[in-house]
Amino acid sequence: MGRNLYILAATLGVLAVVSLVLSFSSVGNPVASPGDAAMWRMMSIALVCVGLVVTLLGVLSSLFEQAERRATQSREQERRQRRRYE
């Protein structure tokens, strides 16, 4: 699950960079209206923020998966040790 979230965050980051480039190019401002460039910049900022939140969720997901995996391993070790002593 964490890997998928990292891929989503990277995709959002690339789209944010594309939006930022469009805001400074003539494509984002075809009729010289300042609202279009501001819209592309705002979209870029929003995509970066969403990408950061998704990255945080990916990190937390990976941490919880690792903690669960280690807890399972320690339970199995305890069971093996109990069986040896019984």
pLDDT tens-digit readout, 36-72: 778 888 999 999 999 999 999 999 999 999 999 999 9
Question: First-to-last CA distance in the chain?
Answer: 40
CB atoms within 10 A of CB 77: 10
Kindly tell me if the per-residue pLDDT of 83 is higher than 90. no
pTM for the whole structure: 0.76
Q: Amino acid letter at 26?
A: S
DSSP E strand boundaries for 1-86? none
Does the pLDDT at position 26 exceed 60? yes
Which pLDDT score, from 0 to 100, does residue 82 have?
Answer: 84
Higher pLDDT, 84 or 30: 84
